[in-house]
Amino acid sequence: MIVNKLIIKNYRNFIEAEAELNESLNIFIGDNGQGKTNLMESIYVASIGRTFRLNSESELINFNEKKSRIEIHIRKNNYNIKIEIILEKNKKKIVLINGVKLEKTSEMIGILNNVIFTPDDMKIIKGSPIERRRFVNIDISQIKPKYKYLLSKYKKVTTERNIILKNYYTKYENKDIISIWNDYLVNIGTEITFYRNEFINNLKKYAVNIYSKISGNKEEFDLLYSSNIGNINNLTKDEVKSIFYKKIKDNFENEITRGTSMFGPHKDDILIKIDGKECKYFGSQGQQRSAILALKLAEIEIIKDETGSYPILLLDDVLSELDNKRKKYLIKHIEGIQTIITTTDDHELSILTENFNKKNFYINRGKIRNITN
């Protein structure tokens, strides 16, 4: 899959901008606050349907406008596909694929696959388990359409079940209906756990190798899905379900007291280890950065395995954070993968990518200029 062209209108600080991308490397150079991250974000929105930042949807529209538009042309499996997103203040966003309006935004997921790496991604290591669950949720959703559906169903189940737990002794009928919600929780929860465990095991296969190369074969990387019902590796779905049921049964009074579902994938975590120690607590800054890099590069390979083609790689200002050896490894690794790199300083990057097939762009106050010579 290749992104050929990007047209954005009234998107954040871009009033009208267009870029024809190279099928290999694209470097966007610009000072702070000129629109580099905004540009990456527009591609991400055309991929996932929402931003990776904390902003609300209406904040994506230029401050002085009411309507914004992202148009992206991609080439995939010998077909040309046009993705259009129309954002309007106080209205539901509209997504069109080759001019046909989608009923649900979620239907767009999987058309334009991306892997994004921003300095903010350090929170995958440093942050709470929520950040790691979000990371796997977004990634699995890109390759397994059913997963997203299961997640939204599971969310409804935990919400409903929690209401019943909170009022358990005040409504007589709760004693009858709780078992239905237990079944939902266990069945959907186990499906989600299996998707995630498989994804993490696949990710691990690539990431271990990549990390080893990044660290010059000096350090060992490990990745583990940590289910809060216990060790689930090598168990069948039925075995996991019976452990899950037992956990609920043994802790039922506790759940009622707390008024919340204490077990299930909404409480799970992913352990990232270097030389046997948890990276979150014992990893140095450089090791943590390398761990994220290994995860992101492994993710690219998984998307390729699942979909048959590489996703677009978006590297937002991450080079400056890496030491020289790691920079060189990363640049070498991305050859053959369509990549967008943003940078404030192009000097070092131009040396590192000297013989690359590439295009350079300059971003200044929401305007894009192709400066490839």
Ligand X SMILES: Nc1ncnc2c1ncn2[C@@H]1O[C@H](COP(=O)(O)OP(=O)(O)OP(=O)(O)O)[C@@H](O)[C@H]1O
Residue with smaller CB distance to ligand X, 255 or 317 = 317
Residues that bind ligand X (CB under 6 A): 12-13, 30, 32-38, 59, 61-63, 317, 344
Tell me which residue of 300, 289, 281 sits closest to 122, measured CA to CA.
Answer: 289
Q: What is the smallest separation between the CB atom of 52 and Mg ion, expressed in angstroms? A: 12
Which of Mg ion, ligand X, none binds 142 (CB below 5-8 Å, type-dependent)? none
Residue placing its CB nearer to Mg ion in the complex, 120 or 306: 120
Residue 209 contact among Mg ion, ligand X, none, beta carbon within 5 to 8 Å by kind: none
Residue bearing tokens 């492994």: 298
Compare residues 15 and 256 and give the one whose CB is closer to ligand X: 15
Q: 59 touches which of ligand X, Mg ion, none (CB within 5 to 8 A by kind)?
A: ligand X
Residue 38, contacted partner among Mg ion, ligand X, none, CB below 5-8 A by kind: ligand X
| Minimal distance, residue 68 CB to ligand X, in Å | 8
Which x/- pattern over 15-54 shows residues binding Mg ion (rule: CB under 5 A)?
Answer: ---------------------xx-----------------
> Is the distance from CB of 233 to CB of 197 less than 8 angstroms?
yes
**Is residue 256 classed exposed, middle or buried when 0-12, 13-18 and 19+ CB atoms within 10 A define those classes?**
middle
Minimum CB distance to Mg ion smaller for 36 or for 204: 36
Q: How far is the CB of 310 from ligand X (least distance, A)?
A: 24
From the list ligand X, Mg ion, none, partner contacted by residue 62 (C-beta under 5 to 8 A by kind) = ligand X
Choice between 27 and 186, CB closer to Mg ion: 27
Partner interacting with residue 24 (select from Mg ion, ligand X, none; CB below 5-8 Å by kind): none
Query: Minimum distance from CB of 140 to ligand X (Å)?
Result: 28
Residue 78, judged by CB atoms within 10 A of its CB (0-12, 13-18, 19+), counts as exposed
Closest approach, Cβ 60 to ligand X, in A, equals: 6
Minimum Å gap between C-beta 48 and ligand X is: 18
Given phi > 0 = left and psi -120 to 50 = alpha, else beta, which region is 40?
alpha
5, β-bridge pairs: 20, 73
Distance CA 94, CA 87 (A): 7
Query: Tokens in use for 123?
Result: 């929170």
Q: How far is CA 51 from CA 12, 45, 48, 120, 138, in A?
A: 12, 5, 8, 13, 12
The torsion region of residue 267 among left (phi > 0), alpha (psi -120 to 50) and beta comes to: alpha
The three-state secondary structure class of 149 is: helix
Interface contacts to Mg ion, rule CB under 5 A: 36-37
